[in-house]
Structure formats: structure tokens, C-alpha cells
Structure 1
Amino acid sequence: MTQELLAAVELILGRYAAQLPLTIPQIWYAAVADGVLVKQERTYRRLVDVLDMARRSGRISWLAIRDDTDPPVEPRTFDGPGGFHRAVADAARDYRLDRQAGQEARLEVWCRTPGLVPQLATVAAPWGVPVYAGAVFTGLSGKRDAARRAAAGGHDAVRVLVISDWDPARQHVFTALVDEVKAFAAVDAPEVRMDFERLAVTEQQIAELRLPAAPVRAADRRAFPGNAGTQAEALPPDALAAVVREAITRRLDAAVLEDVLAREEAERRALLNGLRLQRGL
């Protein structure tokens, strides 16, 4: 049975190769959708144990799965002047402008699940859209920082695209989040309009994609426009990427972005040429 589960996991990782690394809940929901596991807590715990064993043995790459949420803080070091010069050249090759410059509204993606950030950042990177998690949902400082970014961004509006679980508790968090950030924005960025839109999960996505969902508990009296709830990680990784990609491209002016990209490329070439000339002297 363990070998069958591992084979199913390998198929899932192959299916979503473009979205790696996946979180363990994403793999679990995919296995439930495939009929490999039933949606029970015991099968999740079993999957965790099997994945631990597979990664320790080398059968599954450590790079394929993300189960950490806290980014490391490490000092930047070099192996000498040569390493420093290589780092400068790499930085020049990675030179980027603000790709949202000149757009009518600045876009941000906010995700309730920190483990999904690498996937979402990969999707959003070509358009220069940042992805935030954690503090923007849970801490006052994070919410105020969002308002201060809006004030400093140079745009008339900020549109926040939110990815979160679909249940009464998360809907309550979403409503409170919107109210609190807008209250900070009224003080720190009074001339900037802040709009919030839930991208995922929605009741329509649950129905159309047949996502695993659990009925809302009768004892939960909080206002909720649905009958069942599910986690954001239940959304297949490729479907989540498509939702984010479509939302971004629909809201950005392609001609404005094209002008920024052309200037970015010209400036990148100038930087690299300057470095080559310096090394030749």
C-alpha cells in the first residue's frame, strides 16, 4: 500500500511539475481528488509519514515539497573579490524595473497560506506583482504596512487579490481584514483607493472543480454565504496558477508594460556593457 501511495504521489508531482514545490496539503487534496486517499485526518498523517520516509531515502526530491513557512535570515558573504564581481554581474543580468509603473492601479496578491507563496510568486513575477502572506492577515503592523505601501506606490488605486480558505472563520477574517486595512489607508493613504477581491477559494470554484469540501458546522453562527468550506490548497496547483495569471493579465495595460520592459532591457544591456568595459580596463 505504501508503494502504491508513493507511485500516486510521484504522478501528482509530475502532473504539477510547473508549480513545484507543492505543499503537503496540496498533495493530499490531489490524492483525495484522484481517489487514492479518503478525506480523513488519519490519511493526511499517513501521507506526512510516507513523504518523510520518501524524502529521507531520496526517492522524492527535497525540492519538490515545501513544508516550511519561515524564511531564513542569513548573512550575505562572498568567497573573495572574484565572487563579489560575479555577484555584481548576476545582479546586472537580473536588473528589473518596477513593471507596474504607469499602470492605473497597483496589484498585490495576498495569500493566507505562506507555503503557497513560492508558487504564486513564480506566477506573478513576469508582471512585477508582489505576493504577501502572514502578517498582512494576522498582524496590525502588516496591515498598516499595506496602507503605507499604497501611499508610497505612486498609484491612484491598489487592488488586492486575495487567496484564502473558504469557510465562516476565513470569511470573517477577510471581512475584518478589508475593514482594518481601509481604516489604515484612510489615514496613511487618503488619496489612494484600495479594493479587495477574493480570487480563491470561491463557492463557484468548489462546484466547478468539484473540490473536496466539508459542511459548515450548524453551531457556527457567523454570517457565511455558503454551505460547505474547503482550504485554498484544495484548488489544484495548475488551476490556482491559472486563476492568478488571468486576474493579473486582465487588470494590467499590456502596452504600458511593453514600454517598461523595453526600457528595462535597454538599461540591462547598458549595465552589462559598462561592467565589461570596466573589467577590460
Structure 2
Amino acid sequence: MPNRRPRGPQPHWRPQRKTLRVLAAVDEVLDRYRDHLPVSLRQMFYVLLSDGVLEKTERDYKRMCEYVGMARRSGRIPWDMIRDDTQIAVDAPASFTGTEDFWAAVAVAADGYRVDRQAGQPVRLELWCETAGMVPQLARIGAEFGIACYSGGGFDGLAGKHDAADRAAAGGMGTRILHIGDYDQSGEHMFTSLAQDVIAFAQAAGADVEFERVAVTAEQVVIHSLPTAPPKATDRRSFSGTATTQAEALPPDILATIVREAIASHRDPAIHHQALAREENERRAIRVQLPPRPKR
């Protein structure tokens, strides 16, 4: 029997009144956090939960996902506002229509020229996040300081752990990994497993790596009144708390503030400003050496 679920674009979709109520709340959330887009579906759910629009049930989460999915198919919500976690893409190699197109790309690259903004700082920082859907938001924050962001979900990412140790060894200075993950049994044990493995690989390579839990912490759950759930009864692993919270429960603006403060605590602002000044001077020097841009 064929699957009767909608496929492809749905430009003629006409949502019911109850659906419109939820979508109006979704629109308000997207506008509220427009400086932190894209958001993941889980983040959207927790904001709507906090706003009293939805209840913390699997049924309401699935219902929201269906509404948002149809809103995207119909064109009501732009595709780039929501982060999907299920696709990994590798772009094709860069190509050009001709030499003029190439030099135009070089000019754009010159405009975006950057130095290593971590050079000279006390430690080299990396951002790691348990949830892949939050990576674009964190990467936007890290980019200002020249900090890369990685998704560190799961216990079996052995190659990723080894790569982290290699980066620490190549960096020539101590590395501190700022980690964002769920506050539950799995999140705590994932953090411990990740830290122990990366540190062991780094030590074998003669490098120094430290881990710092940035979010979610027990204090943040209380301060920000985050929604919680009981620990899974089937999970017998030790847990420091009495209730669990997912990382997506932190509103995007609060998460951004927490991450910025964690980064700032390990940055020398004078060195950062010197890097920005050098960057602009060298950018100007590069522009002078480029051939004139063709007139259109």
C-alpha cells in the first residue's frame, strides 16, 4: 500500500485553526531568535514548551514536527531557518565559469582574509557539542574568535577523538575543549568518556588537553528554570542530579551568552584586538595587489 503522507512541495496546504495557533507561536520564536538561526526542532520544542504552547509529551513534539514540516513544504517557513540533523553533505570542488569568475572569487576571499585569531592566546579553544543541530549557532559564536566547533555526540567517534589530539599536538600550546551536552546519565558519561579518551590520545602525542563543561549544569537548570524529566529508570549509571535536562532546553540567546562568557574567560582581549588590527592591515595589502575587478 502506498504511503499517503505528503511528499515534495505543498504550496496549496491550508492548515487548520489549531495548527495555525502553533505555527503563529513558531513564527514568534523564529523572530525572537532571528540572530541565532537556524534553530533545531528540539530547541523550538523547548521554547514552545516554556511559552506554554505545548506540553512535554512525545505526542506534542511529533505534532509540532509535522506542522513545521508542512509549513516548510508550503513555503510558509524558509528552509534555512530550521536545522536538520539527518544530512551530512560534502560540497563539490570549487569550479569557475572562466578567469573573470576566478578573480572575482579571489577578491571575495581577500575581503574575508583572516589571521589565526587564537595565536598568542593562553590556550587554544575548541567548542564541542553533543547535539549536531546546535553546531551552526555555536560555530557562529566561535568564528568571531577563530574557534572551531565540532559535534561530539556518541561514544564511538574514535577517529574524531584522535583528530582532536592531533590538532592539540599540532597547535603547539595547551588546548581547552568547551563542551555543551545534555544533563542526564548519558550526557555525563559521554562527557567523561570523551574527555578521558581525548586526553589519553593527547598525552601519547605529547600534547596537553583539558575539558570544561559549559552547559548544561545543575546551576543553569535552576537559574533559567529549564524543563526537566526524571532520570531513565532503565539507565543504572551514576548521575549527579535528580532530574534531567536536554541541551536544547537552553534558549538560544541564553546559550550564546553562556558560551561567550566561557570563551572570554580564556581570552586575552588585548591580544584579540591586536589580531583584528593586523588582520585588517594585511587585508588592505592583499587588496592592493589584486588585479582590477572587471566592470559589469
The alignment's TM-score, normalised by the length of structure 1, stands at 0.94
Distance verdict in 2 for CA 1:222–1:176, change over 3 Å: same
Aligned positions of 1:76-91 closer than 5 A: 76-91=94-109
The answer for the alignment partner of 2:156 in structure 1 is 138
Paired residues for 1:129-208 under 5 Å: 129-134=147-152, 138-155=156-173, 157-188=174-205, 190=206, 192-208=207-223
1:71 to partner: Cα distance: 3.5
1:233-252, aligned counterparts within 5 Å? 233-252=248-267
Equivalent position to 2:241, from 226, 229, 242 = 226
Residue in 1 that maps onto 2:9:
none
How far off its partner does 1:74 sit?
A: 2.4
Distance in 2 between the 1:218 and 1:63 partners? 38
Question: Is the counterpart of residue 34 in structure 1 residue 51 in structure 2?
Answer: yes
Kindly indicate which of the two structures has a greater share of residues assigned to helix. Answer: 1
- The answer for the alignment partner of 1:213 in structure 2 is 228
| Aligned positions of 1:74-113 closer than 5 A | 74-75=91-92, 76-113=94-131
Question: Contact 1:163 / 1:232 at 8 angstroms: preserved in 2?
Answer: yes
SS at match of 1:222: coil
Deviations 1:224-245 (A, max 9, x none): 1101111111110101111111
1:265 partner amino acid: E
- RMSD of aligned Cα (Å): 1.7
CA shift, 1:223, in A, is: 1.5
* Structure 2: stretches of 5+ with no match in the other structure: 1-17
Letter in 1 for 2:186: A
Match of 1:258 in 2: 273
| Counterpart check, 1:269 vs 2:261 | no
Structure 1 segment 6-45 matched on structure 2, within 5 A: 6-45=23-62
- Going from structure 1 to structure 2, the CA distance change for 1:4 and 1:277 (only over 3 Å counts) comes to closer
Contact 1:136 1:146 (C-alpha < 8 Å) held by counterparts: no
Q: 1:261 to 1:137 in 2, by over 3 A?
A: farther
Tell whether the 8 Å contact from 1:137 to 1:143 is kept in structure 2 after alignment. no
Find the aligned partners of 2:155 and 2:236 in 1 and give their Cα distance.
22
**Separation in 2, partners of 1:193, 1:145:** 14
Question: Hey, what's the Cα distance between the residues in 2 that align with 1:137 and 1:119?
Answer: 23
Equivalent pairs, count:
277
**Unpaired segments of 5 or more residues in structure 1?**
none
Which whole-Å CA distance do the structure 2 matches of 1:233 and 1:128 have between them?
Answer: 24
